[in-house]
Amino acid sequence: MNEGLRSELSKQGIFTTTLGDLYNWGRKNSVWPLQFGLACCAIEMIATTMARYDLARFGAEVFRPSPRQADLMIVAGTVTKKMAPQVVRLYNQMPEPKYVIAMGACAISGGPFKQGYNVLKGIDRFIPVDVHIPGCPPRPEALIHAFMTLQKKIETQQLTGVNRPRHLDAEAPSEFPVPKFGGHDLEPPNNPAVWHAPKLVREP
Amino acid sequence: MVMETLEQIKARIENAISGAKPEIIPNESPSAQRSLLLDPAHAVEVAKFLRDDSQLRLDYCSNVTGVDWLDLIIKEKVKVKKVVEGVEKEVEEPVERKRPGYLEAVYHLYSMALKHGPLIIRLRTENRADKNHVPSLTPVWRGAEFQEREIYDLYGIIFDGHPDLRRILMWEGFADHPMRKDYVEPDDYEYEPTPHDEVLEKTKQHHSPEPKP
């Protein structure tokens, strides 16, 4: 159906849509995040859900205490190497379709603790991240912006075709390998299927 | 209330506990906060004395921390009698002395009852490798339990007599002690947004130099 016919019909009081649009409209307005926080970013995440910022306006007020009922993982805070396997395991236990927001400097890169011996240099080394928010910690507005960015992403996802998302592709992985505790570091230190090092930005 | 001087405390320890040889460690920094080095054999007895003595009553161990001292070459000048041009003279000669490294546990003690402190006591291991035992003071100050575990985790000091000596920050099976000065961290510097100094050097090892046009 072309746009002209659709607008002509809507003038006559006939609403038309596609199954894909309807499906994505429902999904993007009922994204339930997983209720867990790792550090101080979690305080901002809690503030975002409270009356002043009110994440409920976007259909995400129900923070689920179980990964099996959650659609969205907000990685709010520093991911230590000791915690990383648990975060990946929680992600694996979430049903598809699932999304990840990496909230704050620590979750996206390790932040101020990046060169410490115990901090993972970004959760995107192990699981695919949909939206990164910088900030230390990001303000609630930034989290809401990230959430709206995720909604836009969900809205444009196609149900069929080569660009269809992972959860509609039977071949694509839904579980990601959980790193093991090694003698000197996590083993493996990253998942090459989801992460590779970007180019060195600054030359001396 | 003012605590006794370190010299007075040292003298009273030597009186009360036979064989104890506390040693005053000078501090040349502006704070001039001196401390008391205890010998491992009598450390628990001395600690009990410090806690229970009616004039000290150091009942609160506010902080326990570790220090890693590497092997050190001390350069000194020693006066030696030498025959120079047929005449015997006293000549200063530079001598190098090697001091083996050791690990140290430092306890900061206060008295809640008498409102004085701090008294700083130190325990030293014999070396940094195999003789890394000191007595645990957790039986004297229960609050030292987790901090001694942390020192065990990060420095590798083994506290004899500790009720539950396990790693606390790193996982079981982790082989290294990250706060030691010779700790080699895993090389995961593939990507740094703003590399500089030694981090830049580490990052560059992961990137082949790009051909310049």
Give me the residues paired with residue B160 across strands: B135
Q: Which one-letter DSSP state was computed for residue A166? A: G
pLDDT at res. A29: 93
pLDDT at res. B92: 82
pLDDT at res. A70: 93
Of A45, A146, A134, the C-alpha closest to A101 is A146
Task: Mark yes or no for CB contact B194/A181 under 8 Å.
Answer: no
CB B154 within 8 A of CB B65: no
pLDDT at res. A202: 54
pLDDT in tens, A24-52: 999 999 999 999 899 999 999 999 999 99
Question: Which residues of chain A carry a pLDDT beneath 70?
Answer: 199-204
Gap between the Cα atoms of A175 and A178, Å rounded: 9
CB A58 within 8 A of CB A144: yes
| B contact test, residue of A120, A184, A190 with most B CBs within 10 A | A184
Give yes or no for A190 touching B (CB within 8 A): yes
What ranges in B38-138 are assigned the alpha helix state H?
A: 43-52
Q: Between A28 and B198, where is the model more confident?
A: A28
Give yes or no for A152 touching B (CB within 8 A): no
Give yes or no for A187 touching B (CB within 8 A): no
Single pTM value for the model: 0.83
Nearby residues of B117 by Cβ (< 8 Å), 6 or more positions away:
B3, B58, B60, B62, B108, B109, B110, B111
Question: What is chain A's alpha carbon radius of gyration, rounded to the nearest angstrom?
Answer: 19
Res. B125 pLDDT band, cuts 50 70 90: very high
Task: Mark yes or no for CB contact A82/B175 under 8 Å.
Answer: no
Return the axis-axis angle of helices A41-49 and A140-155, rounded to nearest 10°: 70
Gap between the Cα atoms of A158 and A169, Å rounded: 11
User: Any idea what the Cα angle at residue B28 is, between residues B25 and B32, rounded to 5°?
Assistant: 80
Nearby residues of B46 by Cβ (< 8 Å), 6 or more positions away:
B13, B17, B20, B22, B38, B121
pLDDT in tens, B5-18: 999 999 999 999 88
Gap between the Cα atoms of A146 and A101, Å rounded: 7
Res. B97 pLDDT band, cuts 50 70 90: confident
